[in-house]
Amino acid sequence: MGRRTPLYDLHVELAARMVDFGGWDMPVNYGSQIEEHHAVRRDAGVFDVSHMCVIDARGPQVRGFFGKLLANDVAKLTTSGKALYSCMLNEAGGVIDDLIVYFMTESWFRVVVNAGTRDKDLDWMRKLAPSFGIELTERTDLAMLAVQGPNARARVAELLPAEHRDAALALEVFFGRELGSWFVARTGYTGEDGFEIMLPAGEAARLWRALNDKGVKSAGLGARDTLRLEAAMNLYGNDMDESQNPLESGLSWTVSFENPARDFIGRKALESLKAAGLTKKFVALLLEDRGVLRGHQKVVVPGQPPGMNEGEITSGTFSPTMEKSIALARVPRATGATVQVDIRGKLLNARVVKAPFVRHGKVLVS
């Protein structure tokens, strides 16, 4: 038996198919994964993301702490509630985890890290925290729901007390705010608008039921994965990990080198990699032939010499929105507009396209 979120009993009651996910018993779907996917693209769906780890970091040097800890620069955070997406790197430049950090006050930042990495993330943070006088608190008292889709924010607002509705709807993208006992953030992992809500664990089931009553569909990990892949959002453990650096994982935009005095962990290694010349790049693929792209399939690059002509799919799926097979892949730097993918011994044609595939309900790749 794995770890269970505060919503486990509700998932069972709703006849969810439960699976092990990073040591947690989580719902993969509640019936039709395709219907859950389309509900989020066209209307609204709710996901249990309580397995994610919420950590409050407090202390007068908390900004300096995250300046050292993260590859992205928290100096960008100047307004309370503003969020920043970043990787946390090891000394070799490998990705320990990707996370979101919220600036609350000059002595309080809130971080949300991945479920499968929470223990090693906390260990890593705790090693650095004493030198900055930081107190870290794992918020095991909170549950977390992601309500996503074009109608998601409006449905949530209907359930908020009247005094909080306008504040919730006024939230800008990638901002969070405390509204009573809830922390509501306009963030997500689907390529759609919506909220991620951190709230007392005892209130989570009631909110879920109320959302269902408003027509918000229960959605599981299966739909979450196809949605995030259509939006070309990385999944830790698939698209990057400690053996890969962000510069070759499509995450260069999350690494800030602007301040030469900011010696973040992993900086020297990344600068050395850049100076030596990166050998891989991260691309989006659209399969031209009939088949399904999956993780770990070999990508063959035409016209390149042996030993320099192979890459690998990191995440792949059949896109319910596009009705085509799509993938993210790490490939040789010289890769051009077309590749082939080895699917069960057959080389099928795929096209390198600009990510994302789908965003805000619109297909962006023809």
What is the phi/psi pair of residue 166, to 5°?
A: -65, -40
pLDDT the model gives residue 39 = 98
Q: Find the DSSP H helices in the chain.
A: 8-13, 33-42, 62-69, 118-132, 152-159, 162-169, 204-213, 221-230, 267-276
Q: Given this chain, do its domains 1-231+239-267 and 279-363 carry the same CATH topology?
A: no
First to last CA, the chain: 44
Q: Residue length, the chain? A: 366
pLDDT the model gives residue 345 = 95
What is the phi/psi pair of residue 178, to 5°?
A: -75, 125
For each of the chain's 366 residues, which pLDDT tens digit applies?
789 999 999 999 999 999 999 899 999 999 999 999 999 999 999 999 999 999 999 999 999 999 999 999 999 999 999 999 999 999 999 999 999 999 999 999 999 999 999 999 999 999 999 999 999 999 999 999 999 999 999 999 999 999 999 999 999 999 999 999 999 999 999 999 999 999 999 999 999 999 999 999 999 999 999 999 999 999 999 999 999 999 999 999 999 999 999 999 999 999 999 999 999 999 999 999 999 999 999 999 988 888 778 999 999 999 999 999 999 999 999 999 999 999 999 999 999 999 999 999 999 998
CATH code that applies to domain 1-231+239-267: 3.30.1360.120
CATH value of 279-363 in 2.40.30.110, 3.40.50.10420, 3.30.830.10, 3.40.50.300: 2.40.30.110
For the chain, which residues make up each domain, given as ranges? 1-231+239-267, 279-363
pLDDT the model gives residue 305 = 82
pLDDT the model gives residue 366 = 85
pLDDT the model gives residue 100 = 98
pLDDT the model gives residue 1 = 75
> What pTM, to 2 d.p., does this model score?
0.97
